Amino acid sequence: MNGLVINNISLTIGGADILQDVSSTLRPGEMVGLIGPNGAGKTSLLKSILGLTKLTSGHITLADQDIFALPAKKRAKILAYAAQGAPVYWPLYVERIVALGRIPHLNPWQKLRPEDEAAIDNALSITDCQHLKGRIATTLSGGERARVLLARSLATGAPYILADEPVASLDPLHQIQVMDILKQQASAGGAVLVVLHDLGLAARYCDRLILLDQGRLIDQDTPEKILSDQNLARIFGVSAHRWTDGRENFLSMSAL
């Protein structure tokens, strides 16, 4: 795959311009952070890529092919989505929730195969959810539910993962674990586009950042360049404190 290419997409809903001429490319092997203040259009961009909202203009291609021309089942094998704070309404066992990630690989009413069971167990293991097997999903805490839904996305085996604030409801340990998991997926040759509000995690984990504000693409580059003092002050209204341990860069912020 040559990458997922977003070509000048715009999205207008109810007369409001949600996205305006946004372009970027998500390449295999990289983890890209999608950042910006509230209302910048981050979630809308993810939903536009997934076809959950209809574009006003522009197009999205994969290997030079219009991604929306692909059959839905094939598209679901390529793009996995971990939605922000997705609710669970049905009292299903955790392992059955994760098994939903295998639907694109199965025919209607087909039973899970050994390779499906292996993918489910692996996803539960790497998201630290094995101990939740046998639990009813509606009894989980917000953080447990977020990890289970990430496991469902990983069980798909899709090369492209789109995650919307996957660490928002997690304790510090599981925030690090989830970011490590996503980074490993990218390092193994996948591609990850992740919405983050924690700019410290964005600086630490992402290869590249896409900065949106009011539906417009402000810039996209390395974390060092995007998280400049000027951008942090102008877009977020904060100042930065930076340090390194020699291997990783760290960032904390304070209000101006």
Tens-place pLDDT, residues 187-229: 999 999 999 999 999 999 999 999 999 999 999 999 999 999 9
> Does residue 1 have a pLDDT over 60?
no
pTM of the model: 0.93
Domain ranges of the chain: 4-229
Strands (E) in the chain, as ranges, are 4-13, 16-26, 31-35, 57-62, 65-66, 79-82, 160-164, 191-195, 208-213, 216-221, 238-244, 249-255
Q: Architecture of 4-229 per CATH?
A: 3-Layer(aba) Sandwich (3.40)
Tens-place pLDDT, residues 173-193: 999 999 999 999 999 999 999
